[in-house]
């Protein structure tokens, strides 16, 4: 197990929830806010949640070695602000921003492309994309995204419920 994984992985954890985003950029902070809400509520056994910040190539190493990964991030999914959708990378065309490819700016699409290029195996990944209302330099979520948090947290907990039950056996 790699050092960064051992820092966040607990002995019985099989599922990793990663909240992506920057809390200083309005609704872009929905991922870390979800991790905060999940932690306050209490995670089921076998589930670990981490604030993945603004992403970057370290996501590749962070995702390796888990049975499955759930990613939560603001995304333009053509819905009303606060609405969210669950999809897998295979179900979506994630836009790779190769012109911005660097250690300081790499999103999920770039991390998945790097994993493919390196022949690295990643666990199954589910993504919860939340439609932002605003992504500008201000702290805090918009009222629409804040109001969606309880339903989003419930949907994520339902997603990981099977993993939590598996870890008890």
Give pTM, 2 decimals. 0.84
State CA 57 to chain mean position distance: 14
Tell me, what's the pLDDT at 94? 59
Q: Where are the domains of the chain?
A: 3-168
Lowest mean pLDDT among 9-18, 43-52, 76-85: 9-18
Cα torsion 86, 92, 94, 95: sign: negative
What residues contact 138, with CB distance under 8 A and at least 6 apart? 24, 25, 26
Q: How many CB atoms lie within 10 A of CB 153?
A: 17
Distances (CA, A) of 45 to 1, 11, 131, 164, 169: 20, 10, 29, 5, 11
- Whether the pLDDT of residue 147 is over 90: the answer is yes
Lowest mean pLDDT among 103-107, 141-145, 159-163: 103-107
CATH topology of domain 3-168: Rossmann fold (3.40.50)
Tell me, what's the pLDDT at 36? 97
The string of pLDDT tens digits covering residues 32-57 is 999 999 999 999 999 999 999 887 78
């Amino acid at each position: 197990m790699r050092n960064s994984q051992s820092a966040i992985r607990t002995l019985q954890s099989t599922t990793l929830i990663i909240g992506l985003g920057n809390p200083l950029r309005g609704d872009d902070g929905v991922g870390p806010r979800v991790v905060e809400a999940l932690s306050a509520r209490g995670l089921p056994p076998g589930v670990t949640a981490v604030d993945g910040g603004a992403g970057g190539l370290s996501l590749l190493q962070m995702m390796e070695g888990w049975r499955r990964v759930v990613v939560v991030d603001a995304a333009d999914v053509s819905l009303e602000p606060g609405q969210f959708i669950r999809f897998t990378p295979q179900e979506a065309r994630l836009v790779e921003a190769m012109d911005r490819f660097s250690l300081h700016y790499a999103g999920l699409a770039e991390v998945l492309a790097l994993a493919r290029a390196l022949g690295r195996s990643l666990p199954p990944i589910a993504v919860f994309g939340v439609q932002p209302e605003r992504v500008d330099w201000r702290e805090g979520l918009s009222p629409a995204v804040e109001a969606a948090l309880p339903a989003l947290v419930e949907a994520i907990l339902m997603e990981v419920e099977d993993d939590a039950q598996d870890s008890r056996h």
